[in-house]
Structure formats: C-alpha cells, structure tokens
Structure 1
Amino acid sequence: MRFSANLGFLWTDRTLPEAVHAAHAAGFDAVECHWPYATPARLVKAALTETGLPMLGLNTDRGDVAGGENGLSALVGREAEARAAIDQAVEYAVALGTRNIHVMAGFASGQSAHDTFVENLRYATTEAELHGITILIEPLNHYDAPGYFLQTTTQARAIIHEVGVGNLKLMFDCYHVQLMEGDLSHRLTDLQPLIGHIQFASVPDRAAPDHGEVAYGHIFQHIHDMGYDAPLGAEYKPVGDTNDSLGWMNTLG
C-alpha cells in the first residue's frame, strides 16, 4: 500500500513546508492538507519539488471559524463567499499541481441547502475542470460535526449523480463512514466507481490505525484487492509526537 500524510493532523508543530519534509523522511508517498492558505504557495511548492512528493488534496476555506463555521457551500445566501473560497482553492491547487479539492458544505439542512450545495458544486466542477482538477465531497459524522450538511455516503452518491459530471467524486473517509454507516468493505466495493480519495483513522478515537474497532489490515487488503492503488490518506490525530505514532506503516502497510 501507498500512504499520504495528512498535514492537517500530522506534524502540526512544524510549518507546512517543514511538515512536507518530515513526511518524506518518514517514508510517505504523498501529502495532503486542510487549509494551507496562510503559507505562500511558492514555499509549499518548493518543499514538494525538493522531496518529490505530490500534494494530493486540500480543502476550501471554512468561513468564520471563530463563529463556528465549517464550510460555506451549502449555506443559503452565502454563495458569493462560497465561490470565492472555491476560486481561492483552485488557484492554490494550480500553483502546487494538486489534483483534488474538497469543497466543504458547512452546517445546514433542508432542501434549500441541498439546492445551494448542488449549484455551488456545479460552479466548482466547471472551474476545476479547466485545470484537470477533481472536486471531492466528504460526509462527516454527526458526533464530531453535528449539523454538518453532508453526513452519509448515500446522500453523497445522490448529489454526485444529480450534478452529473465526471470530476465530482466521493472522499471516502473510513473513520467517518464507520461511525455513521459501518460495513466498510461492502461500502468500499459498492462505491468504488465514485471514490476519488480514501482516508483512514482508528475508530472511535481518530488516532493511529493500529487499534480500535476497525481492522485496518483487513481493510487495506480489501482496498488493494479492489484494484485501488492511489495513496491512502492518513488523516488521524497522533497521541504525542507524530513520528512515535508511525509504527502502523510497517505492521499494516
């Protein structure tokens, strides 16, 4: 298996370029991040060039974080801000050569939120297609993100089919899916045509994948047997120093 280090959680005590180098030294095959916008893209690009690691993905801006926001694209009346966040993400992704952007829906509910999300995704996929970029949507569990608009793979599948374009895919985060739906092996197989990226963490504590209720040795083998060969995103919260949490790469990889 190949693995991508999610620098939103790993090596957070370092600058983003330093974290890229740390991921390379640890043996990761790629990196990904959450919100890199405070770091000039040229500095991140330099670190990617020096290490040879690709940046697989990044997220659109969350909005007013201090006010409790976690994405904008399903928020009725906030379309201009949502599309500005999409533009910002596309510009940054192009500068890094990043091929995936996770468009965050935010806290919302109802048909109006659904319609707003769909229209913003149509905007995002149109803009992204000009640069060969794929837009990802990710269901988040209702324990960590109560009230988040997108919560299940069933909902995500329906939205992907409604938007109906080839560059809109599912971010299948095993941690979130296990908490909301379970049955990871069958869901991975069923949703494989729609999957653009896979992430993982232990359940229920979202730490390294070497413990908890999900047998990742089995899950990783299942993903391999499916023929999926892209790097899997290690999006977990290490307990203590990140380097001390990486034993799973040898035992599970």
Structure 2
Amino acid sequence: MPRFAANLSMLFTEVPFLDRFERAARTGFEAVEFLFPYDFAAEDICARIDKHQLQIVLHNLPAGDWAAGERGIACDPARVVEFRAGVAQAITYAQALGVPQLNCLAGKAPAGVDAAVLRSTLVENLRFAATELRAAGLRLLIEPINPFDIPGFYLTRTDQALDILDEVDASNAFVQYDIYHAQRTEGEIAATLQKHLERIGHVQLADNPGRNEPGTGEINYRYLFAHLDRIGYDGWVGCEYRPARTTEIGLGWRTALTA
C-alpha cells in the first residue's frame, strides 16, 4: 500500500498551521508536506514534528508573492537574483527540518517575454538550484500544473518537464507527478507513471473534478494505488486535495481504496 503524507496547506486548514501537525498525527499520518515553511521559525516546526513523531517529505522553494497570485518565479528573467536567494533560504530550512527534497514551481510566464528566454531562464535557474541542492544532499523536483487551475503557468505537461530536465542534466532533479494535474492536462496516468517511474521523485493526489479526496470523482484510485505497488514506487504520496467536507470525515478513502 502506498505511504500517504498529509499536505498541511490543504488539509486541517480550519486550525492554525502549527496545530495541523498534531491533527495529522492523530488521524494516522506519519509524514506531512506543505507549500512553504518561511513564515515560521524552523525550530518551531521542528518542535511539532518531534513531538508528534512526523517527518516532512517535501516543501517548495520560495515562489514569489503567493498572496498576490504569483505561483513561482523560476521562468522569469527579471527575478533571477531573487530566485537564487530563495534557493539558499530553502536549503537552510530543509536542512533544519530534515526535508529530503524541494519542489520548484516554474511560475506563470511573464507577459511579453520571448518563449526561448523563458525556457533558458528556467533551465539555468534549475541548473543552479540542482547544483546547490546536490551539495546539500537534496533532490530537486519540478511540477507540471494544469492550465485550468493556474492559467498561464509555464510548465503544464510531463513530457515538457522531462524535456527540460534533459537539458538541465542534473542527477538529483526529478518530476513531481501530481495525478490531479496530469488528469486534467493529459490523462494516461498509469502508463505515464510506469514509463517514467525512474524520473518521478514524488507523487501527489486529488480527485477530479473538484480536487477533493480520492473516491469523489472520475479517477480510479483503487486501481492506481495497486498500480503504484506493482511498478515499485516506494516514495510518499502527498495528499494535496481539498476535503469535500472536513479532512477527518473524508479520510475513509485510505482504507476503502487500498484494501
């Protein structure tokens, strides 16, 4: 059965962030992930994960002004200095928190910038990030996101991500494969997971439509969970969904779809 990590940016959001660690542990999760730790002191987060015997499997590099609608800056040629400073900040947090991998959000394509410049900026930023993360013993992830949820997002498909990683040519750089985003953009979930398993560093989930918990939509998660076992995926599966009601009420899918 896959190992599930609670995404604290999506689950238990009715309580303050630092209190979500206790809720995750109390509901049976052994690991968590989240978007960003940077609004909190690393020692405060460490205290929560130590107290509740959790591990953190993932967080993101700084991604610009999230509250203002920015969703990453890695493809923006005007933000390279900011991006590289963010890499250093992320590594500091990851090392303090024991996080093994960091996700880089490519961001929305800035208006008026040539496509070749967008790509070269992203590639060079990823090379820089991969080098810095490798020196710190960390993996770098990049995540395709569907253009319906985030119009204008630069990285939208698995094949595009793999092509960019080919150019980056870093042994510690992988795809973060979000089943929900992939379903909305390209489908072929099982075949893609199997074909590119060695290049997928992390898997996330939500159902479609609605981005709610597994079992509420069209995706056959019973099949996919068994498929992940069959093909030998041994990483965590991040639960990055919006609970249809409350997190606790909806958690029955973990047993119902993995029995």
Percentage identity across aligned positions? 39
The residue identity in structure 2 corresponding to 1:65 is W
Which of residues 122, 136, 156 in structure 2 aligns to 1:131? Answer: 136
Shift of 1:130: 1.7
The residue identity in structure 2 corresponding to 1:43 is D
Stretches of structure 1 that go unaligned for 5 or more consecutive residues are: none
Give the secondary structure class of the aligned counterpart of 1:136: strand
Distance in 2 (CA, whole Å) between partners of 1:98 and 1:14 is 23
TM-score for both structures, normalised by structure 1: 0.97
Shift of 1:211: 2.0
After superposition, the C-alpha distances for 1:122-167 in whole angstroms (9 at most, x for unaligned) are 1111111122111100000010011101000000000111111111
Distance in 1 (CA, whole Å) between partners of 2:42 and 2:59 is 12
Equivalent residue for 1:143? Answer: 148
Distance in 2 (CA, whole Å) between partners of 1:30 and 1:187 is 25
Would you say the 8 A contact 2:201–2:235 is kept in 1? Answer: no
Superposed, 1:1-253 pairs within 5 Å as 1=1, 2-108=3-109, 110-253=115-258
TM-score for both structures, normalised by structure 2: 0.94
Would you say the 8 A contact 1:140–1:151 is kept in 2? Answer: yes
Distance in 2 (CA, whole Å) between partners of 1:130 and 1:13 is 38
Shift of 1:66: 4.5
Distance in 1 (CA, whole Å) between partners of 2:236 and 2:257 is 14
Would you say the 8 A contact 1:86–1:103 is kept in 2? Answer: no
The residue identity in structure 2 corresponding to 1:19 is R
Distance in 1 (CA, whole Å) between partners of 2:65 and 2:54 is 31
Distance in 2 (CA, whole Å) between partners of 1:106 and 1:187 is 23
After superposition, the C-alpha distances for 1:160-207 in whole angstroms (9 at most, x for unaligned) are 111111110000000000110001010000110100000000112100
RMSD over aligned Cα atoms: 1.2
After superposition, the C-alpha distances for 1:189-235 in whole angstroms (9 at most, x for unaligned) are 01101000000001121001112110100001000101112221110
Give the secondary structure class of the aligned counterpart of 2:66: coil
Give the secondary structure class of the aligned counterpart of 2:174: strand
Give the secondary structure class of the aligned counterpart of 1:112: helix
Query: Which stretch shows the higher mean deviation, 67-76 or 136-145?
Result: 67-76
After superposition, the C-alpha distances for 1:53-81 in whole angstroms (9 at most, x for unaligned) are 11000012221235431101100121001
Would you say the 8 A contact 1:198–1:233 is kept in 2? Answer: yes
Give the secondary structure class of the aligned counterpart of 2:166: helix
Say how many residue pairs are matched: 253
